Structure formats: C-alpha cells, structure tokens
C-alpha cells in the first residue's frame, strides 16, 4: 500500500543466496578427523624410532590410543611387558586397573586418550632415564597439542614432573590442578602400578578420579 501511494507500480525480486549452515555434529566430526590426521602424521614422524638405546630392547612401539577429541588425556611413564607385546598403552594389570578407575566415574576407555612419556619399554620396567625422556617426550607433547585436552591426568611422578616442569614428589601434588606445559591444566594422581603395590591407596585414587570428572564437567 505504501509503494502504491508513492507511485511505484513495478517490483523486482532479487535472488537470495542461501547459506547452508553446517550442523554442529558435522563440525565436530571434521575437527576430530583433523586431529586424527595430525596424530597419524606424528606417528609417521616417530617412525621406527632409534633416538635412544631403548629401541634395542623393544618388541613394539607404543604410541598411544583413544579418542582424538578427548577432553581428558591420561599420561603414564612408559610401556610395560604386556604393552610392549601388544603395542598398546595400559593393557597389562596396571592398565586394567586404569580402565576400572575410568569406568568408576562413568567414562569409557574409548572416551579418553591414553599415552606415555616413553614409547618403548625400559628393560625390566625400570624408571625412565633423563636422556630417554629428553629424546621421546617431544612426541608426547605433539600428541597433547594435537588433541588439546581440557585436562591432562598425569599418572605418576615422571609424567607429572615432565608436564609441570618441576621435580616435586607425586605425594605432594596428587589431587591438585596445576598449570603445566603451554598452560594446559595438569591433574596428577598415583600411577596404577603404584596402586597395585599399595592397595590401601586405591580409595584415594578413586576420589582423585571423581574430582577429575567433576572438573571436566564444570569446564563444559
């Protein structure tokens, strides 16, 4: 009516370009695929690693496994005998306990990402040496940067000290949220192998995992 009163009698309809919105699910899938590809690239870079003498004793490299879009990443110290045999992290007795702790708080193992500071088993499951950590840890840090977890759960002394950059006993920092490498939130707790040797500490670990779960939920 207004146009008619103004003397305008011809109208032109301009074509409107439709902008297709990408569903959130598709966007998440694309991000996860990008992270998966980056992890594959890191694994290729690692190759048949001989950067330290541990390669002479290994059966398999143990790179890491899990959800590339995980909100939580668990980092242990080194593969054990069963991990070396299978080429997978945390599949021996300590790994079975870790899986139970993860399930205790309502997660599934496939929801998280699991890796170690070292990719090869030290002989006799001895502690990692400084030169081994120096040679191998850059690949762990690249994995962390690819996944970008909300929280890194450091299992035991060696992973905690690497990620926070300080040599503090695990007993002093477990159950606390610390600022670590590149500002990532690090939550140290006891290594499952330690819990197998000290079963009285299992309730402490369960409490830590519940705190971890609550922290992740609060972050979302």
pLDDT tens column, 158-167: 999 999 999 9
Q: How confident is the model at residue 27 (pLDDT cuts 50, 70, 90)?
A: confident
pLDDT tens per residue, range 101-120: 999 999 999 999 999 999 99
Residues 14, 7: Cα–Cα separation, whole Å? 20
pLDDT tens per residue, range 42-96: 999 999 999 999 999 999 999 999 999 999 999 999 999 999 999 999 999 999 9
CA 64 to chain centre: 9
| pLDDT, greater one: 12 or 147 | 147
- What local confidence, expressed as pLDDT, does residue 4 receive? 67
- What local confidence, expressed as pLDDT, does residue 21 receive? 52
Report the mean per-residue pLDDT for the chain: 92
- What local confidence, expressed as pLDDT, does residue 17 receive? 56
Neighbour-count burial of 3, counting CB atoms closer than 10 A to its CB (0-12 exposed, 13-18 middle, 19+ buried): exposed
In the predicted model, is pLDDT for residue 26 greater than 90? no
Residues 122, 153: Cα–Cα separation, whole Å? 22
């Amino acid at each position: 009516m207004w146009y008619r009163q103004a003397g305008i009698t011809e109208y032109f309809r301009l074509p409107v370009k439709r902008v297709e919105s990408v569903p959130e699910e598709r966007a998440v899938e694309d991000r996860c695929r990008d992270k998966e590809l980056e992890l594959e690239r890191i694994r290729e870079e690692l190759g048949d690693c001989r950067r330290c003498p541990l390669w002479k004793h290994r059966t398999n490299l143990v790179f890491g496994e899990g959800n590339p879009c995980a909100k939580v990443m668990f980092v242990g110290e080194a593969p054990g005998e069963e991990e070396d045999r299978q080429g997978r992290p945390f599949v021996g007795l300590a790994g079975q306990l870790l899986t139970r702790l993860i399930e205790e708080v309502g997660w599934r193992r496939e929801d998280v990402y699991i890796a170690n500071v070292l990719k090869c088993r030290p002989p006799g499951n001895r502690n990692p040496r400084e030169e081994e950590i120096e040679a191998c840890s850059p690949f762990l840090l690249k994995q962390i940067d690819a996944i970008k977890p909300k929280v890194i759960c450091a299992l035991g002394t060696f992973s905690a000290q690497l990620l926070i950059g300080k040599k503090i006993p695990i007993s002093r920092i477990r159950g606390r949220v610390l600022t670590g490498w590149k500002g990532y939130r690090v939550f140290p707790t006891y290594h499952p192998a330690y819990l197998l040797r000290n079963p009285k500490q299992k309730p402490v670990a369960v409490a830590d995992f519940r705190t971890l779960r609550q922290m992740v939920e609060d972050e979302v």
